[in-house]
Amino acid sequence: LARWGWWAAGGAALLATTVPRWFSEGFRHPSGREYAARNGLTAAMAFLFLGPVVLAPEGTRFPVLESRPLQAIGRWSYGIFLWHLIVLHFAFPLTRTPLWTRRMGVIWPVTVAGSIAAGAASYRFIEEPARKALSPHA
């Protein structure tokens, strides 16, 4: 498959995990079959998105990965990972969305935006000052 074919297939796997007829939505304990299917699709999605980058011949450039926004996301990624569950916790009351409802179209963008903001702040005000303070070359 060409690079875009891999990515299209990865997008299809991602979309498949959101089909309410196939998978429960919200915070419900899935059946063993549903759990395996969702995790299998998620693993396939990750492979299909990353495969063309990881398996590309040496020297292949991916300009989108060199863009300033994605470079910033990369710098902030640890903070995004650390803060996203806290942001998710507050996304429900912020959007006046009751827990366990099928409104992920509302919760997801709020969580993504809030997690990126928290990750950026964490990088700026915690990670960088700590790195500078602990660096032997400071």
Report CA torsion sign: 125, 130, 86, 40: positive
**Whether residue 57 has pLDDT greater than 70:** yes
Which H helix or E strand runs over 79?
A: helix 68-94
C-beta of residue 107 within 8 angstroms of C-beta of residue 88: yes
The per-residue pLDDT for 38 is 86
The per-residue pLDDT for range 58-103, each reduced to its tens digit, is: 888 888 888 999 999 999 999 999 999 999 999 999 999 887 677 7
Domain's final residue, options 60, 94, 111:
60
Other residues' Cβ atoms within 10 Å of the Cβ of residue 11: 13
Extract the tokens encoding 35: 């759990």
The per-residue pLDDT for 134 is 93
Calculate mean pLDDT across residues 119-127.
97
The per-residue pLDDT for 27 is 61
Domain's final residue, options 60, 82, 104:
60
Statement to judge: residues 24 and 71 lie in one domain:
no
The number of folded domains in the chain is 2
The mean pLDDT of the chain is: 89
Q: Which domain holds residue 75?
A: 63-138
**Nearest-10 Cα torsion for 81, 82, 84, 88:** 150
The torsion region of residue 86 among left (phi > 0), alpha (psi -120 to 50) and beta comes to: alpha
The per-residue pLDDT for 80 is 98
Statement to judge: residues 10 and 35 lie in one domain:
yes
